[in-house]
A and B are shown apart, each in its own frame.
Chain A
């Protein structure tokens, strides 16, 4: 489905544009048909950048990206979307005047029946048909916009769906519904692959393969069973980086009058 070869992405340094910072550093990976991959790792490790490079939102400095055997490295976003790549944004855009229904229709590429729309919304925990006529603007909360964003990918039903931190900003109840939805898509084995960037244990557990990204390179890969103990969600933090104990603070010395 997806094959990435020796991908490099550099950005000029802000204070010295003649020097470059490497965000993705010679990365190669493959995602098979029907595979569910979770990319995790520390902040600043290059996860979101990698997702944007796959969608074409960013252009790589060097390296190649293949989708279903075709080289798409220089293809624009629109073309990649039409080939079957979908992308759920971490921070979704808002649109004044556009209804949720309209956005779902655009995503699906056709006018959807109401029933289908309601189904997509309920899969992300938005259980009210009244959302369809709401505008995707500031009147919706962050969590609502985020779930509508995910619903647009469900409506689009791409061959390869990439989600950038779908759990961010979503409440626990909706999150439960969401993990079920991801599992259902995966269980259906309809030739559709899923790549999710996530720090959530429950999402990582669903994966066929977990990729830990660090400093723009693949640090480790493995099944959730192999990697979960190392990832140490319970107490250790990644790579045994223990949470620091509070220093000897004398609470009385902190002014509380400001």
Chain B
């Protein structure tokens, strides 16, 4: 134990990873660039990297029904924390991985966390990954999160990734890359809400290399006030494969959203589709909820919550 957990930390952990107290099973909690507490399980081993800051997570083949928590919190102003986390998931696993980063910045200097996550999904394994990013604090200091997510999927593996950032992050540049082998299946869901003068950029590159591989990219975002967002998902089909990219954004105030969904096919059997829509909340939705007794503000809030659910 190198750092103590304060009430602010507990709130951050509850917000990003929905954990209260120490979780069961394997976990690694990092605060202000240092390890707070770590626990490995019989099937999941967490160890410190020797070349970079960060951890290696080895999940034994055939591990089923286990969950790993690796939340990070930053409460120190002026800190730039860069961390490399690499997951080695064996064959035929079925596991949940809960990551996330919460920043509480009460000062004027910037706090930044750049998490570089790499996943090697073994043959026929199924992985559910949830990453929540959140910022808070009364200070003027920027809260910056620049995550990189790399996913290398072996034959027949499937992966559901949910990347969520709902408030408080001043600026973010997210890079997500994936490579899929034969029969691999990836569902990538990104949910984003920006407000005030925040900026967010999301770049994605998914390479469908194997026969019968498939990807579904679902991006739902809300841009409020004067914030701006740029989406740049690219799906490349190099074999008989299926890819679907869907960007859906709600625009409020003077915000701006740019969506550039891209598809690139290098095989005549690649079936790739993209769609993008940006618009304000529909008036008939608000009126309907008002006829059910909600005020206009409550109706708007309800619509946004469901949209980003």
On A, residues with C-beta under 8 Å from B are: 55, 57, 76-78, 81-82, 86-87, 89, 91-98, 102, 106-107, 109, 152, 156
Contacts and interface: CB of A to CB of B under 8 A. Distances in A.
B146 to A, nearest CB: 27
Interface of B: 220, 248, 282, 284-285, 287-296, 302-303, 306-309
Given A87-B291, A107-B292, A156-B293, 18 more contacts: A57-B291, A78-B290, A81-B291, A81-B293, A82-B293, A93-B288, A94-B285, A95-B285, A96-B220, A96-B306, A96-B307, A97-B307, A97-B308, A97-B309, A98-B309, A106-B292, A109-B292, A109-B293
Given A77-B287, A89-B288, A95 B293 contact: no
A106 B308 CA distance: 18
Contacts of A77: 287, 290-291
Contact of A98 (B248, B282, B287, B306): B306
Contacts of B303: 95, 98
Contacts of A81: 290-293
Nearest to A88: B291
A59 to B, nearest CB: 13
Contacts of A95: 285, 303, 306-307
The B interface is mostly helix, strand or loop, or mixed, namely helix
Contacts of B294: 78, 106
A87 to B, nearest CB: 5
Contacts of A55: 291
B131 to A, nearest CB: 19
Given A57-B287, A93-B282, A96-B248, A156 B306 contact: no
Contacts of B289: 106
B306 A86 contact: no
Given A95-B303, A97-B308, A152 B248 contact: no
A92 B307 contact: no
B275 to A, nearest CB: 11
A196 to B, nearest CB: 16
Pick the most buried of B220, B282, B292, B293: most chain A CB atoms within 10 A of its CB: B292
A76 B286 CA distance: 13
Contacts of B284: 89, 91, 93
A78 B288 contact: no
A92 B284 CA distance: 8
B296 A106 contact: no
A82 B248 CA distance: 33
Contacts of A76: 290
A86 B307 CA distance: 25
A151 B288 CA distance: 13
Contacts of B293: 78, 81-82, 109, 156
Q: Which of A55, A78, A156 has the most chain B CB within a 10 Å cutoff? A: A78
Contacts of B306: 95-98, 102
Nearest 4 CB-CB pairings of A with B: A97-B306, A98-B306, A93-B284, A77-B290
A86 B291 contact: yes
B243 to A, nearest CB: 20
26 contacts: A57-B287, A57-B291, A77-B287, A78-B293, A78-B294, A78-B295, A81-B290, A82-B293, A86-B291, A87-B291, A89-B284, A93-B282, A93-B284, A94-B285, A96-B220, A96-B306, A96-B307, A97-B308, A98-B302, A98-B303, A106-B292, A106-B294, A106-B302, A107-B292, A156-B292, A156-B293
Contacts of A87: 291
A95 B289 CA distance: 10
B294 to A, nearest CB: 7
A86 B282 CA distance: 20
| Residue from the set A57, A86, A91, A96 with the largest chain B CB neighbour count within 10 Å | A96
Nearest to B291: A87
A31 to B, nearest CB: 18
Given A95-B306, A97-B306, A102-B306, A152 B292 contact: yes
Nearest to B296: A78
B285 to A, nearest CB: 5
B164 to A, nearest CB: 13
Nearest to A55: B291
A161 to B, nearest CB: 11
A71 to B, nearest CB: 20
A102 B296 CA distance: 18
A87 B284 CA distance: 13
B219 to A, nearest CB: 12
Contacts of A78: 290, 293-296
B151 to A, nearest CB: 25
Given A102-B306, A106-B302, A93 B285 contact: yes
Interface centre among B293, B295, B306 (most CB of A within 10 A): B293
B236 to A, nearest CB: 28
A188 B49 CA distance: 72
Contacts of A93: 282, 284-285, 287-288
